[in-house]
Amino acid sequence: MSGEVNSARLAVRRKADGALVVELGGDWLARAGLPGIESVETEAASQPFSALEFDTSALGRWNSGLMVFLVKCHELCAKRSIECRVQTLPAGMTRLIKLAEAVPEKKDAARTAAAPVPFLERVGEAGLVVQAGGLSMLTFLGQNALALAALLRGQAQFRWADSLLVMQECGPQALGIVALINFLIGSILAFVGATQLSHFGATLYVADLVSVSTFREMSCIMTGIIMCGRTGAAFAAQLGTMKVNQEVEAFQTFGISPVEFLVLPRVLALIFMIPLLCVFADVIAISGGFVVSTSMLHVNPALYLHRTLAAVSLSTFLLGIFKGAYFGVVVALTGCLRGMQCGSNAAAVGQATTSAVVTGITTIIASDGIFAVLCNALNI
Amino acid sequence: MQPTTTTAEPPKIEIRDLTMAYGSFVVMRGINATIRRGEVFIIMGGSGCGKSTLLRHMIGLKEPAQGEIYYDGEPFWSSNEEARQRRLRSFGVLFQSGALWSSMTLAENVGLPLGEYTDLSPADIAEIARLKLALVGLKGFEDYYPSEISGGMCKRAGLARALALDPEILFFDEPSAGLDPISSRRLDDMILELRDSLGATFVVVTHELQSIFTIGDNSIFLDADTRTMRAQGNPRDLLAHSTDPVVREFLTRGEAPAAQPPGRPQPA
Q: What local confidence, expressed as pLDDT, does residue B267 receive?
A: 46
Contact A242/B101, CB-based, under 8 Å? yes
Question: Rounded to an integer, what distance in angstroms lies between the CA atom of residue B254 and that of residue A336?
Answer: 47
Residue span(s) of chain A under CATH 3.30.750.24 come to 9-103
Q: What is the pLDDT of residues B132-172, one digit of tens each?
A: 999 888 889 999 999 999 888 898 899 999 988 889 999 99
Between residues B4 and A190, which one has the greater pLDDT? Answer: A190
Whole-prediction pTM: 0.80
Whether the per-residue pLDDT at A180 is higher than 80: the answer is: yes
Q: What average pLDDT score do residues B37-48 get? A: 89
Q: What local confidence, expressed as pLDDT, does residue A109 receive?
A: 61
Q: What local confidence, expressed as pLDDT, does residue B151 receive?
A: 84
Q: What local confidence, expressed as pLDDT, does residue B259 receive?
A: 44
- Strands (DSSP E) contained in chain A are 9-14, 20-28, 51-62, 83-84
CB A217: neighbour CB atoms within 10 A?
16
Maximum separation of any 2 CA atoms in chain B, in Å: 59
- Find chain B residues with C-beta within 8 A of A245's C-beta: 97, 99, 102
- Band (pLDDT 50/70/90 cuts) for residue A44 is confident
Question: Rounded to an integer, what distance in angstroms lies between the CA atom of residue A281 and that of residue B254?
Answer: 70
The residue among B52, B90, B94, B102 with the most chain A CBs within 10 A of its CB, best to mutate, is B102
Give the Å distances, CA to CA, from A363 to A202, A370, A377.
36, 10, 21
Contact B22, B50 (CB under 8 A): no
Which of these, B71, B70, B72, lies nearest to B17 by C-alpha position? B70
Q: Strand, coil or helix: what is A241?
A: helix
Contact B220, B232 (CB under 8 A): yes
DSSP type of residue A30? T
Between residues A108 and B206, which one has the greater pLDDT? Answer: B206
Which of these, A248, A261, A235, A244, lies nearest to A330 by C-alpha position? A235
DSSP type of residue A218? I
- Band (pLDDT 50/70/90 cuts) for residue B49 is confident
Whether the per-residue pLDDT at A42 is higher than 50: the answer is: yes
Which of these, A288, A321, A303, A317, lies nearest to A193 by C-alpha position? A288
Contacts with B171 (C-beta within 8 Å, 6 or more apart), sequence order:
B55, B58, B59, B91, B92, B93, B94, B162, B202, B203, B204
Question: Rounded to an integer, what distance in angstroms lies between the CA atom of residue A323 and that of residue B247?
Answer: 64
- Band (pLDDT 50/70/90 cuts) for residue A119 is very high
Whether the per-residue pLDDT at B266 is higher than 50: the answer is: no
Contact B102/A256, CB-based, under 8 Å? no
Q: What average pLDDT score do residues A332-344 get? A: 94
Contacts with A321 (C-beta within 8 Å, 6 or more apart), sequence order:
A220, A275, A278, A279
Q: What CATH number does the domain located at A9-103 have?
A: 3.30.750.24
Between residues A228 and A50, which one has the greater pLDDT? Answer: A228
CB A292: neighbour CB atoms within 10 A?
22
Q: What local confidence, expressed as pLDDT, does residue A77 receive?
A: 84
Q: What is the pLDDT of residues B205-263, one digit of tens each?
A: 988 888 899 999 999 999 888 888 888 899 999 888 888 888 888 888 877 444 444 44
Q: What average pLDDT score do residues A235-240 get? A: 95
Contact A349, A240 (CB under 8 A): yes
Q: Please report, in angstroms and rounded to a whole number, the separation of the first and last CA atoms in chain A.
A: 79
Helix (H) or strand (E) holding B82: helix B81-88
Q: What average pLDDT score do residues A126-131 get? A: 93
Between residues A13 and A265, which one has the greater pLDDT? Answer: A265
Contact A26, A60 (CB under 8 A): yes
The percent of residues above 90 in pLDDT, for chain A, comes to 59
DSSP type of residue B202? E
Domains within chain B, CATH numbers bracketed: 8-90+201-258 (3.40.50.300)
Q: What average pLDDT score do residues A189-200 get? A: 91
Distance from CA of A319 to the nearest CA of B (A): 37
Q: What local confidence, expressed as pLDDT, does residue B8 receive?
A: 67
Q: What local confidence, expressed as pLDDT, does residue A340 receive?
A: 94
Q: Please report, in angstroms and rounded to a whole number, the separation of the first and last CA atoms in chain B.
A: 10
Question: Rounded to an integer, what distance in angstroms lies between the CA atom of residue B131 and that of residue B114?
Answer: 13
- Find chain A residues with C-beta within 8 A of B100's C-beta: 247, 250
Of A21-25, A181-185, B61-65, which one has max mean pLDDT?
Answer: A181-185
- Band (pLDDT 50/70/90 cuts) for residue B48 is confident
Q: What average pLDDT score do residues A200-224 get? A: 92
Contact A250/B59, CB-based, under 8 Å? no
Whether the per-residue pLDDT at B173 is higher than 80: the answer is: yes
Contact A247/B102, CB-based, under 8 Å? yes
Contact B116/A249, CB-based, under 8 Å? no
Closest residue in B to A158 (Cα) is B116
Question: Rounded to an integer, what distance in angstroms lies between the CA atom of residue B97 and that of residue A73?
Answer: 45
Tell whether B85 is within 8 A of chain A (Cβ).
yes
- Residue among A247, A255, A256 minimizing CB distance to B99: A247
Q: What local confidence, expressed as pLDDT, does residue A1 receive?
A: 47
- Band (pLDDT 50/70/90 cuts) for residue B131 is very high
- Residue type for position A31: R
Q: What is the pLDDT of residues B65-109, one digit of tens each?
A: 999 999 999 999 999 988 998 899 899 999 988 899 998 999 999
Closest residue in B to A241 (Cα) is B102
